[in-house]
Amino acid sequence: MFKDKLKFPQEQLFLTPTTVAFISLVVGLIALSFSPILIRLSEVELGPNATIFNRFWISTVAFALWNGFTTAQNRLSHSEPKQQVYTIRLILLLLGVGFVMFATLILWAWSLNQTSVANSTLMHNLAPVFTVLAGWLIWGKRFDARFLMGMFVSMIGACILAYHDFSSVGDKFQGDILALLSAGFLGLYPLIVEELRTQLSPIAIMTWCSAIGTLFLFPIVILTEDKIFPYSLNGWLTVISLALICQILGLGLYAYCLKKLSSGFVSLCDLFVPVLSTQGAWVIFSENINVATLISFAVIVLGIYITSSSKSAIKSEVESV
């Protein structure tokens, strides 16, 4: 009897696959919250295009080394991994996810040059609207009333900050528009990754995403930037941190959780990122946190809480297989 009490089955520890997906999402969002801060720090030495280019190529090298290590480990253990068949549809999805991430990060980097971290991040994370609309129009996804109500509440919170921005400082308008465009592309990202997760691992998806983003951005950075690489140790540490923390850890865990959680819910949880990013910007850049910002964050949290109890937030066993 005493030994039985020492047993901790998975159910008692609450480490079900869905719980692991939720934990991965939280950690991923925390990692992604450092993105606007690291981009802003990198742009002390580099332009927006060079900043994102370094993020992509460093991530590509890191993922290539990771894949090489995994392959060598499999050979030593005499285990043959299942060979992936790359169909035309799969290749198009991989090209799509690479282009979407490339466009998202470039537009966001430009935005961070022209508006505050808090406002740019929040506008950038209005992506759930585009995710839900595209999921409905293109993929035929359905969302229940509770999910839509929670999303509506969260969007109200986002609009509170957006209205305060538009009504107070006029020279931030262009930066906010760029951030909104980046949100449109970001809204497509979880939908494409969700489709890819039915066939590929998060590592494989992120390897392709980083490599394709590097290829898309290379000619642009050559033509538009005077400096492609950082010239100081701090600059290198910043872009390496951007790649390792945000691209690999953040987006990698983001892709992982889409096996169990719906793209609409995961996209909606992106609205937590401004909450964390604003705290960092307050510490590092001394950007003020006004009452409108605090109210908007509280409303966003309420909306996500409502959505988390929706049937549309978690995939059924059939969908997640």
pTM: 0.77
* Separation of first and last alpha carbons in the chain: 37
pLDDT digits (tens, 9 = 90+) for 224-283: 888 899 999 999 999 999 999 998 999 899 888 888 888 888 887 877 777 677 666 666
Euclidean distance between CA atoms 316 and 262, whole angstroms: 10
Q: What is the pLDDT of residue 242?
A: 93
Contact predicate 97/199, CB 8 Å = no
Under 8 Å between Cβ of 264 and 147:
yes
Residue 59 CA to residue 40 CA, distance in Å, equals 19
| Cβ–Cβ < 8 Å for 266, 258 | yes
What pLDDT is stored for residue 82 in this prediction?
A: 67
pLDDT digits 0-9 by tens, 11-59: 444 578 788 888 999 899 889 888 888 888 888 898 888 998 999 999 9
Residue-range domain boundaries for the chain = 18-76+83-320
Q: Which two tokens stand for residue 316?
A: 């059924």
What is the reported pLDDT for 67? 82
The predicted pLDDT at position 173 comes to 72
Q: Retrieve residue 22's tokens.
A: 């939720």
pLDDT digits 0-9 by tens, 87-139: 899 999 999 999 998 898 888 878 877 777 667 766 776 788 788 878 877 77
Looking at every residue in the chain, the average pLDDT score rounds to 80
Tell me the H-state helices in the chain: 2-5, 17-32, 35-42, 48-76, 88-112, 117-124, 127-137, 145-168, 173-196, 202-224, 233-241, 251-257, 263-269, 272-284, 291-308, 317-320
Report in angstroms the alpha-carbon separations of 220 from 83, 214, 226, 256: 34, 10, 12, 30
Residue 70: predicted pLDDT:
81
pLDDT at 273: 76
Mean local confidence (pLDDT), 133-148: 79
